[in-house]
């Protein structure tokens, strides 16, 4: 038994003594292939995302889930994207601002939720390769009429500027998602 263990150990050491050179080349080749495969995979994902963005903008069924909000001075605050959003559903719109504390506000979540209809929806393709969207829409809600300017990239990053008839602006920064895949929580509308 001892002889068998000694033979196995010596064979293992002999194999390991000759294999580092080959293993080093194989690891480099594998790493290079893996990098090329990762680049190809990233291109495929970006193309798929761009097609999805095109589709949801054309059908007008998307949600801008905000990760940040800011006012006209530019001061940004982190917010929960599931309760701070702009939802576009064909000719309908829902705009919501809420707080994670849920204290106050007419929507029961520390903010305001308003729904209404879109009276104007203009889409322009902008950018060097015309892959970004610039959208202007006018929303008529129970709390007033709003001009909303959306900028959407093919990678689904989006920002929106919301202004009304009173001075001041509210900016949403986040990502757009298809209406069917969004998991936003809508509070009570005014």
CA distance 131 to 169: 26
Is 185 exposed, middle or buried (CB count within 10 Å of its CB: 0-12, 13-18, 19+)? exposed
φ/ψ of 103, rounded to 5, equals: -90, 125
The candidate with the shortest Cα–Cα distance to 83, out of 187, 179, 13, is: 187
In the chain (190 residues long), the average pLDDT of successive 10-residue segments reads: 49 48 55 78 91 95 96 91 95 93 83 94 92 95 94 96 90 96 89
Per-residue tokens: 145: 């009429």
pLDDT of residue 177: 96
Residue 6 has a pLDDT of 45
How do beta strands 61-71 and 169-178 pair? antiparallel
| pLDDT of res. 188 | 86
Q: Residue 75, class by beta-carbon neighbours within 10 Å (0-12 exposed, 13-18 middle, 19+ buried)? A: exposed
pTM score of the predicted model: 0.78
Radius of gyration for the chain, computed over Cα atoms and rounded to the nearest angstrom? 27
Gap between the Cα atoms of 185 and 190, Å rounded: 15
CA distance 55 to 156: 12
Alpha helix (H) ranges present in the chain?
A: 2-18, 20-59
């Amino acid at each position: 038994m001892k002889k068998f263990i000694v033979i196995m150990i010596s064979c293992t050491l002999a194999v390991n003594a000759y294999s580092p050179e080959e293993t080093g080349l194989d690891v480099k080749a594998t790493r290079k292939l893996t990098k090329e495969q990762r680049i190809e995979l990233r291109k495929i994902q970006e193309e798929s995302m761009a097609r999805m963005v095109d589709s949801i903008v054309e059908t007008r069924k998307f949600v801008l889930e905000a990760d940040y909000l800011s006012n006209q001075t530019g001061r940004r605050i982190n917010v929960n994207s599931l309760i701070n959003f702009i939802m576009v559903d064909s000719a309908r719109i829902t705009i919501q601002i809420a707080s994670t504390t849920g204290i106050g506000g007419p929507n029961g979540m520390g903010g305001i939720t308003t729904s209404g209809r879109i009276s104007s929806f203009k889409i322009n393709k902008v950018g060097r390769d015309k892959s970004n969207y610039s959208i202007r829409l006018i929303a008529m809600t129970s709390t007033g009429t709003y001009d909303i300017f959306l900028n959407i990239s093919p990678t689904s990053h989006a920002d929106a500027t919301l202004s009304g008839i009173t001075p001041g602006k509210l900016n949403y920064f986040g990502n757009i998602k298809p209406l069917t895949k969004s998991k936003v929580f809508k509070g009570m509308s005014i």
